[in-house]
Amino acid sequence: MGRRPEQRSPRDGALSERVKELECLYGIAQASAGPDLAVPEVLERVVALLPAALRYPLRAYACIRFDGQSFVGGAGAPDPSVRLSAPIRVRGRRRGEVAVGYAGAPAPSPETVFLSEERRLLAEVARQLGLVAERIESRKEQEALREQLWHAERLITLGQLASGVAHELNEPLGSALGFAQLLAKNPSLPPGALDDLRRIEAAALHARSIIAKLMLFSRQSAPRLAVVDLNALARDGVELLKWRCEDRGIRVCYRLAARLPPVTADEGQVRQVVVNLAANAIHALADGGRITVTTARRRGGVVLAVADTGAGIPPDILPRVFDPFFTTKDVGQGTGLGLSIAHGIVTAHGGKIGIESEVGKGTCVRVRLPVGRAAPEAEPARRAARHAR
């Protein structure tokens, strides 16, 4: 008389269980071996392998919960009373669990259903999943750091280029402006020629202002450090553009932290940062919306954030927003130096600037500045400015 499919002799059964466990671990190694896999993809593969590793695979189910996501494999509706689980930990922090069980309980309790080997297997699976998640996340962090390093090196190169261009243009531009102003003083000039000279002078002054911004972007102008109130600067900078907000029906909300520690910074330059960020936010709200200005205290520094409810920035454009002269504005509406200048100012103060954006929801630019000490790059910037002169 033959045995039922799930009944075995003790020796055959033990050997079969060991083979299934090894096959499961091998399958997990294979499922997580790809170079470009994401954690959810690995978990989907693993949860499909687990039921076959249990004693009663036809009635077994598996469930993996990780960072709020659930992945289920095997038999139908599980019986919560017959369930075995193990926590998934990544870098010592619990991020989820892996659980197995039976849809129709073949025994009255988990203690009599699950073998001690199965408990060890589940603990090992949970450990392996934690290591896989850590490896994938570490790879993504390294890629992000490489991207940041590449971007920083690119900005340095652009800053050096901008500094060289500014120096080369400054002298001939100054000569053109000076001669135009001298000629304009000639009383015998006809009105048409005088008008042309005034246009030349206006164009030269505009070009000089762009060169000044280039110098600021390349950090050739040293910050004049003083103790400043970031809350006051944030409000004052946005108020300068209040009339533009009123024209477009834009509402400005302030969420300024109480008892914010003072910042050692150049008052004029930090105000320029606020104005530039606010101007970009206003441009993004052509049909009205809301700008939110936030300050907060963080460990070792303070944070200023300017957020808008505009159309957002597409992901392919976002990495270029700090590049000088890069702009999505129409001709005549901007030079593409606003965020570049803000980046140069914040970096010169020993701070950091970052941007987050989602298409259809809006953009937020965050500036972090140190408190309680002078900006670490202030003195090198002063020396660079003296050398430039």
pLDDT digit string (tens) for 294-346?
999 988 789 999 999 988 888 888 877 877 655 655 544 444 567 877 887 88
pLDDT digit string (tens) for 182-233?
888 888 888 888 888 888 888 888 777 777 666 665 555 566 788 889 999 9
**Residue 239, pLDDT above cutoff 80:** yes
Angle between helices 39-49 and 10-31 (to 10 degrees): 160
pTM over 0.75, yes/no? no
Q: Long-range CB contacts (< 8 A, 24+ apart) of 33-40? A: 37/136, 38/136, 39/66, 39/67, 39/132, 39/133, 39/136, 39/137, 40/66, 40/69, 40/71
Q: In which residue are the tokens 């944030």 written?
A: 234
CA distance 144 to 194: 56
**Residue 365, pLDDT above cutoff 80:** yes
Beta-carbon contacts of 11 under 8 Å, excluding residues fewer than 6 positions away, are: none
